[in-house]
Structure 1
Amino acid sequence: MKDISNSRADTRSDATREKLLSAALDVFGRYGFDGASTRKLADTAGVNLQAIPYYFGSKEGLYIATAEHLAGVVAEHVAEIRQRVGRHLAELDQTGTPLSVAQARLFLTEIVQTMVVLFVSKESEAWARFIIREQLEPTAAFERVYTGIMGPMINMGRRLIGTILQDDPASENVRLRSLSFVGSLLVFRMANAAVLAQMEWDSIGEEQLAKLQGHARNLVAALEPAKGERE
């Protein structure tokens, strides 16, 4: 009986923590760290005010935990493609086999089409607000966001784009081209209202998503070394 009671208590504890993290992602994204009061955070989560210091130590602790939570959630969405491409690249490295341009394009197309689906999802609205704030005014949470979300995917993209451009992935040229390429996809989340207005869409449904994925595929196909980049 004691074990059952402990199990139920742990379940309630986990649920309370998850409620706070979910609410914090939305509240911090909307109001920023300073504008998000502990009362607002607790009320939005539907928990007691004392839950914040109990589970996270302070509002600062909750903020950092929220960034780590966000990194984990996004990582789950891209885990399959990230692991599959990563394994293939690791196998090539072990055998000293170069990645072909055709394979790089194939992998990059799969990645960007996966990311487009993620970017236009309703769930990603709260993610975008939080990440944008960390881009404009980086805090201690930025390292968690970058290390857990942005860095790994950009670095993998750099490897693929470098192969396509026939250039060193560590070169400034490939870094800049990769950032520009990522930006051309992020616009569909970060500037969602402008996208809808420009495309004269009321919302993004299956038909619109298919068009965006086709556009992402075309962006990969258009990647070529600029004049003078190739020896």
Structure 2
Amino acid sequence: MSTEKTSPPHHGRPRAERGDVTREKLLLAAIDVFGRRGFDGTTTRTLAHAAGVNLQAIPYYFGGKQGLYIAAAEHIGSLIASHTADVRERAHARLKEAEDQGVAIGPDEARRLLTSILQRMAALFVGRESETWVRFLIREQMEPTEAFRRVYAGVMGPMLGLLGRLVATLLDEDPRSEHVRLRTLSLAGSVLVFRVAHAAVLAHLEWQTVGPREIEVVGALAAELAATIGMGASR
């Protein structure tokens, strides 16, 4: 049984395709609505209305509001992962190749790889596409639930771990050390602040909006930040 509202343009679609469309609508609506209202402040009726689907679609596809909430968090994780996949895979491949050869990558290469990841993060999180994702994730940062654990395990933790290996190379330290982890968090936060503190960023920089020029500026800052890691700094 189709759970979408009847719409003439959908009549010719296969049932599986209609189901995928309904699921995607619910996930996107859930990310936005949960981010604005929180889990407790959101009803299934509100979610269904925002997605433009029948109320029964939520239990049908996700088992209920809790299932949709978890799925929305995982969807955010998959979107972030897909946007950063190529730069992460390139860095992982080089680190593995160096490890297999028994020769660590040099600081110049580590810095280039680190810069490419930071610039991709800057383009992703400074742009408007990530606005609803970050609103959702900020709530989870304040009061973590299973949704946060899923996102952290799926994308946040691995991303920080990869950045940490590159930072450790530049600092010539153990990537598991507290100091390297602190430097890694500080570095990532220096980019993420442009989304998390978006209103303050606009006010302080006197930007009216964030467009291609502003994204380029933040990307240049990301490269500058990467360039400072390990450059004559002492603990």
For this structure pair, what is the TM-score category when the shorter chain's length is used for normalisation?
A: over 0.9
- Which of residues 180, 184, 187 is equivalent to 1:181? 187
> Does structure 1 residue 194 correspond to structure 2 residue 200?
yes
Task: Give the Cα–Cα distance (whole angstroms) in 2 for the partners of residues 74 and 223 of structure 1.
Answer: 25
> Does structure 1 residue 169 correspond to structure 2 residue 175?
yes
Q: Once superposed, which parts of structure 1, at least 4 consecutive aligned residues long, lie more than 3 Å away?
A: none
Alignment size in residue pairs? 224
Task: Give the Cα–Cα distance (whole angstroms) in 1 for the partners of residues 53 and 47 of structure 2.
Answer: 9
Per the TM alignment, residue 226 of structure 1 is displaced from its structure 2 partner at its CA by 3.5
> Does structure 1 residue 226 correspond to structure 2 residue 223?
no
Match of 2:150 in 1: 144
> Does structure 1 residue 205 correspond to structure 2 residue 218?
no
Give the alignment's Cα RMSD to 1 decimal: 1.4
1:154-203: CA deviation from partner (whole Å, max 9, x where unpaired) = 00000000011111110111011111111111101100111010000101
Match of 1:93 in 2: 99
1:91-144: CA deviation from partner (whole Å, max 9, x where unpaired) = 111111112111110000111111100011111000101111111000111111
Match of 1:24 in 2: 30
> Does structure 1 residue 153 correspond to structure 2 residue 169?
no
> Does structure 1 residue 68 correspond to structure 2 residue 103?
no
1:179-231: CA deviation from partner (whole Å, max 9, x where unpaired) = 1111111101100111010000101122222211111111111112632x4xx
Q: TM (normalized to structure 1)?
A: 0.94
AA paired with 1:105? R
> Does structure 1 residue 8 correspond to structure 2 residue 14?
yes
> Does structure 1 residue 111 correspond to structure 2 residue 117?
yes
Match of 2:4 in 1: none
Q: TM (normalized to structure 2)?
A: 0.92
Structure 1 alignment gaps of length 5 or more: none
> Does structure 1 residue 125 correspond to structure 2 residue 92?
no
Structure 2 alignment gaps of length 5 or more: 1-10
